[in-house]
Structure 1
């Protein structure tokens, strides 16, 4: 920074012409499973003609979550479901139980794993690693319709 406390610079012309797009994705989940949403999210990016930027995914629920995780071996996902079950068992003495024994553990799992993901977009696709996919993780013991907001900011 040349010895100065702050430095100001001008963005290039492409960066000044950023655009944004909002979308919605609804996922029909099955109980206590990882649901791969990589393909429909990449399809949406193609539909809006995304180039390079940042995608933010936000899951609009408190008893499911989002994860970037391995896509090669389904045993990884099964082991993660089991591990989360050990971290937040249904048999724990929770105060909140009005929506069933699986509800409060699902809230705990969602807090541990999160409901929002920022993902770089390069050349119109999520910049995921070779063995990565994006998942909605259903923590409840019943199927649900889970809704995500997709926000793209980029060129």
Structure 2
């Protein structure tokens, strides 16, 4: 059994879903493992991770609109240290996830045909996000 870890940096330009699958898959191949488990961990409280549809861009648009409705920007929150999108970003992260586990089968991620890995940026302004990868397997 072997293990490998790395950190990847993802620059976001705005709120929304950023496909990071293409950033993770080459690193997986470099590890030359055929079976195992990948853990992806977002090191932030105002961004999160999702496995979601990667074909129809309308899915991303609808998801972004949905989260804007259920955790709207407002001056009514007590926590607004960084502006009106601060607390809604934390709420959106709490409703999603900061860690994912994806099986590695035959050297590749066991994602479905229409699945991709996404960083979900919940803040309006650009950010530099760090995601930790941990792969364990053979």
TM range (shorter): over 0.9
Instruction: Tell me the TM-score normalized by structure 1.
Output: 0.87
Match of 1:149 in 2: 132
Instruction: Tell me the TM-score normalized by structure 2.
Output: 0.97
- The C-alpha deviation readout for 1:83-121, integer Å capped at 9, x for no partner, is 001110112621101111101000000110111000001
Q: How many Å separate the matches in 1 of 2:81 and 2:58?
A: 32
Structure 1 pair 25/35, CA: closer, same or farther in 2 (3 Å)? Answer: same
Number of residues of Structure 1 aligned to a counterpart in Structure 2: 138
Higher percent of residues as strand: 2
Q: How many Å separate the matches in 2 of 1:99 and 1:50?
A: 42
**SS of the counterpart of 2:88?**
helix
Alpha-carbon shift at residue 50 of structure 1 (Å)? 2.1
Structure 2: where are the runs of 5+ without partners?
none
Match of 1:7 in 2: none
Structure 1: where are the runs of 5+ without partners?
1-17
From the CA coordinates, give the structure whose radius of gyration is larger. 1
